[in-house]
Structure 1
């Protein structure tokens, strides 16, 4: 079995999330992490900015890895349609490789039109990925519906599955209960709510770490639902040890 795992994700200049969380999580799972960088970030006079890598350069990175045997692929921030298209092409050429898609859509730097275009592009990934891991706002954008209740959460998960996603986990956080973090796992047949008490502390990078952990567990042949359960515990442990810059300081 291959111990190689790939992240296609962005650089967080403060090292809490993005590729830093991905590679740290891979290492914690004793996997050899590879990386194709999708974007850079910087704190400027205009605020926190996402700077896309040229799509041609993204393609060159991915072409360089075409012959590597990956046990899993994790997709993080794809900053625009052009970069997403390159990632999609790579995934389509690795149909036998498990893929975890963290469909990052909510960036304050993006305009509504950009979010809409990227939403449509990300949906194209669904038939080729093993599981998607949106948060509530992303799930609303992807499913094109409001989520105000746990039943709405179920309806959104079903819509996303019907769009082609094999498995869906929607991260509910503290939206429905200020004492519990409630996530929903859907396998196409059964809905399973995963609950844990809310932790204080810095949770920057929690979503990246969660998706990277799921990919790592799947790469090590864990069933998908068990990978999700273990990853929820993994992130909770990471948050409890986080420093000022994010959850990946545990390791």
Structure 2
């Protein structure tokens, strides 16, 4: 079901809730809204967390996650999907079931470890990621996540389209590399923004890409604009918390991305 003429693209975030508001569902809603999309959610898990770490996680029953997805798709409709923290292998499997026949681009952020270092996915859940990576238009692993998924060469051999994010790498320059089987790599490089306020960067990046795709932009342009949004949000971080603080989503001024 297409959106009403001129209406905002409908973006569904399937992810965990961050009680501190910096990452997960909360970061996704802020990002989608700031970029001119209509945000919907299917919450997979509830976390008690702040800028210093994750203090508790409770995954929701898979049937409840499925019901949220079905409600959004069946009534409002969906133009793009962002997947974040899943919480359990059963949830990962049902999300794949629900999305395999959906005619909308899917951005999969394979969340395994929070910025604070807290583990958010066990080995069984990570093993269930394979189906999601194959159906996704793009998977967005950071350095440790890419290693846990088998490394760059293994991902390419399996035909996975992914962007290797370089924010966790060392050095003064951050490099992000888009890898698509049958295409030359596309590389973006920028000077590193030195800050401790990086909580939710991966969530924000993935949901920004999804929103731009929902606006109808091609993948490479969606990535470029999402990178710019994240960098602006890093620079506008409000300085909250004693650990890895949240980004300044609401302070970013960006034009509508509809082509």
Q: TM-score, normalised by structure 2?
A: 0.83
Structure 1 residue ranges, 4+ long, deviating more than 6 angstroms after superposition: none
Mapped to 2, the partners of 1:43 and 1:116 lie a distance apart of 22
The count of aligned residue pairs is 233
How far 1:186 moved relative to its partner?
1.3
Q: Is 1:171 aligned with 2:178?
A: no
How far 1:31 moved relative to its partner?
1.0
Counterpart mapping for 1:46-61 below 5 A: 48-61=55-68
Mapped to 2, the partners of 1:41 and 1:47 lie a distance apart of 7
* Native 8 Å contact 1:174 1:198 kept in 2: no
Match of 1:85 in 2: 93
Mapped to 2, the partners of 1:47 and 1:17 lie a distance apart of 11
* Distance 1:119-1:208 versus aligned 2 partners, 3 A rule: same
How far 1:34 moved relative to its partner?
0.7
CA RMSD between the two structures: 2.1
* Native 8 Å contact 1:123 1:163 kept in 2: no
Once structures 1 and 2 are overlaid, which stretch shifts more, 85-94 or 27-36?
85-94
Structure in which a larger fraction of residues adopt helix: 1
Mapped to 2, the partners of 1:211 and 1:186 lie a distance apart of 16
Match of 1:182 in 2: 175
5+ residue gaps, structure 1: 146-155
Q: Is 1:209 aligned with 2:198?
A: no
How far 1:239 moved relative to its partner?
0.4
Q: Which residue, out of 205, 225, 237, partners 2:232?
A: 237
* Native 8 Å contact 2:34 2:250 kept in 1: no
* Native 8 Å contact 2:110 2:139 kept in 1: yes
5+ residue gaps, structure 2: 4-8, 253-259
* Native 8 Å contact 1:71 1:97 kept in 2: yes
Q: TM-score, normalised by structure 1?
A: 0.86
Q: Deviations over 1:160-180 (max 9, x none)?
A: 243242x21011115142x11
